[in-house]
A and B are shown apart, each in its own frame.
Chain A
Amino acid sequence: MFEAAIAMSRKWDATDAGQEIGEQIISKLKNKPKFVLLFSTIHYEKHGGFQKFLDAVNSKLPERTPVVGGTVAGFMNNYGCYTRGASALAVYSDEMDVAVGVGNNTRENPKKATLASSSEILDKMKNSKYATGCAINLYSSAVVGEYPIVGRRVVIDNKQLTRFPDVMYDISLKVFHRGVDRADEMLPVLSKELSNFQQISGGCTDTTDQLSNYLFFGRQTITNALLTLAFKTSLNASVKTTFGFKETGTKMLVTKFGRDHRIIKSINGRPAREELLRILGWPKAYLNERVFSKLFYYPIGFVNQSGVLIPQVFGLFLGESIVVPYSIQNPEITLLSSSGKDLISSVDEHVEQCKKIKPLFSIFISCATIIVTLGAHIYEIWEKINSVYGNTPYLVGYVAGESTFSSNKELKYGNHTFNSLVLWG
């Protein structure tokens, strides 16, 4: 016996929306859900609060239903694509064991948090008799750093402050608990510890302003953490990552790194910011607080030790230094270029796969920059997916930082990607 359903609310008020989600799940499933994956846009933060939202969802569900999720920039499901509201995927199978693991303080100690979460999963799953393991990892994505004098900004020009970018990076992370998410330190640990699980991961976010984000676990909202929803099942599963960009052929050599190899101090022997602007042919005036809407079209990538290209967007301009989300493991970086056509066609492989295997349900994680860049054209992606899924439940979350892993594929992570976890009988 298997059943899955999509619930959605477009109501503005947190309590109304939560109740609607819970009621739809109950009315659509005959059995108590084995798990509920819940995505919401950030706006309930200002329309009642996430505590009320989660209380309302859970009040309608049977006791101890595992509800796991977080905030996203937008979501897509069988009904359409939305940047305001909430949607949930509820799943029941009589051949499924479910466990949830939590690791806290990911920004301060990502490895410890990841081990805490994965050991909880392994412990709870040790007696499961089912062969296929799946894990949905949601973590708190980067939040814009808080800096003395200037506050929260993404372009900081203050010469006194930016003389020591490593110190500013540390203060933001360790004192204010803001800054990069350190997902690239969590994901390899998850791959190793949960090596038998097909994994899909995403960084929960807001409207991509990166000011706040929340993870959901039952009635709790969690920040600065990793949350893993794992299940073992008799179903088949596979994961896939595709990219929405092209390589431009423009190479850059990082000639001086700062803290954690996430700070680029110089490129091609010149100050990093100055050299990047020269390469892009941009005037300095472009570097304002909305610079990322333009930079989303120009991610950078490096090839890691496993030969996998890791694409990423720029994160922060600290004087002449540039902070990026993922530690750069290879000083030779490539300028990538992302067009609307590339972003839309990045779903084609996933769609083709679904035509062959006829999924029972799917979870997709994609980059929030894609929905920001495509705007209303995101419906071109929806039409492709919906044309093969029809009424088969699926849920796409648009997040900040995406990843997949399986034991027969390398760990893939980065930005500007489209990722799937597909289950079939």
Chain B
Amino acid sequence: MPEETMLSVLEDLLREEDILAVMLARKNEISVSPSPDKFKLKDPSIFSLLQSTMNDFFIVIEKFSSQGLDKVYFELGNYEVMFFLISGDTALVAIIPGLANKGLLEVEMENSRRAIKKLI
């Protein structure tokens, strides 16, 4: 997997004003993400928590993937987390502000997902 190219896709996405943190999460593997010092989170512990619990998420995600699970959203305090599934064990994950213009961000999330799919 060309991780450097993948990282450049993630770094490009992170330049969006309202993408506060981003990673490519993979089940039972180390996730790919830009350096955390590039994140714009006021509370960085949220990202650490997400990173450390991703394997638990994939257990649930795998159960629904045969039903066509494509995206997962949840609100977390002042933030919102978007999961765009790439396969049953890989997901593009981004943290955005709770009141961000989600529609426009989703389009660029989708473009990043398509770019990563081409690389895998």
Counting chain B residues whose Cβ lies within 8 A of the other chain, the interface size class is 10 to 19
Contacts of A82 in B (CB 8 A): 107-108, 111
Interface stretch among B27-35, B45-53, B96-104? Answer: B96-104
Residues from chain A with a CB closer than 8 A to the CB of B110 are 81, 375-376, 379
Interface residues of A in 158-213 (CB under 8 A from B): 207-209
Chain B residues with Cβ under 8 A from A371's Cβ? 103-104, 107
Cβ of A48 under 8 Å from chain B = no
Question: Interface extent on A, as a size class?
Answer: 20 to 34
Q: Is A12 an interface residue (CB 8 A)?
A: yes
B108: A residues at CB distance < 8 A? 82-84
Give B98's nearest chain A residue, CB to CB: A290
Q: Which residues of chain A in 340-393 are interfacial with respect to chain B, using CB atoms and an 8 Å cutoff?
A: 371-376, 378-379
The complex places the Cα of A332 from the Cα of B47 at a distance, in Å, of 51
Encoded as 1 (CB less than 8 Å from any A CB) or 0, chain B from 62 to 88 comes to 000000000100000000000010000
The answer to whether B16 and A290 have CB atoms under 8 Å apart is no
CB distance from B93 to the nearest CB of A (A): 15
For B110, the closest partner residue in chain A by CB is A376
Which of B84, B101, B111, B114 interacts with A207 by CB under 8 Å? B101
Chain A nearest CB from B88 CB (Å) reads: 19
Residues of chain B contacted by A372 (CB below 8 angstroms): 101, 103-104
CA of A262 to CA of B30 in the docked complex: distance in angstroms? 56
Partner of A378, one of B16, B17, B107: B107
> Within the assembled complex, what's the spacing in Å between the Cα atoms of A379 and B111?
10
List chain B residues, Cβ under 8 A from A143.
Answer: none
Bound state CA distance, A84 and B103, in angstroms? Answer: 13
- Expressed in whole angstroms, the Cα–Cα distance for A47 and B19 within the complex equals 17
- B103 near A374 with CB under 8 A, answer yes
Which residues of chain A come closer than 8 Å to B103, judged between CB atoms? 293, 371-375
Chain A residue contacts of B111, Cβ below 8 A = 80-82
Cβ of A81: which chain B residues have Cβ within 8 Å of it? 107, 110-111
Distance between A212 CB and nearest chain B CB, rounded to angstroms:
15
Contact, CB under 8 Å: B109 / A208: no
Given A80-B111, A290-B99, the answer on whether A207 and B106 have CB atoms closer than 8 Å is: no
Contact A83 B104 (CB under 8 A): yes
Q: What residues of chain A lie closer than 8 Å to B101, measured between beta carbons? A: 207-209, 293, 372
Interface residues of A in 69-88 (CB under 8 A from B): 73-74, 80-84
For the A-B complex with A83-B108, A372-B104, A375-B106 known, give 19 more contacts whose Cβ atoms are closer than 8 Å.
Answer: A12-B12, A43-B17, A73-B104, A81-B107, A83-B107, A208-B101, A208-B104, A209-B101, A289-B99, A293-B101, A293-B103, A371-B104, A374-B103, A375-B102, A375-B104, A376-B84, A376-B107, A378-B107, A379-B110
Chain B residues in the interface with A (C-beta under 8 A) = 12, 15-17, 71, 84, 99, 101-111, 114
29 A–B pairs (Cβ distance < 8 Å), ordered by A: A12-B15, A73-B104, A80-B114, A81-B111, A82-B108, A83-B104, A83-B105, A83-B107, A83-B108, A84-B16, A207-B101, A207-B104, A208-B104, A209-B101, A290-B99, A293-B101, A293-B102, A371-B103, A371-B107, A372-B104, A373-B103, A375-B102, A375-B103, A375-B104, A375-B105, A375-B106, A375-B107, A375-B110, A379-B110
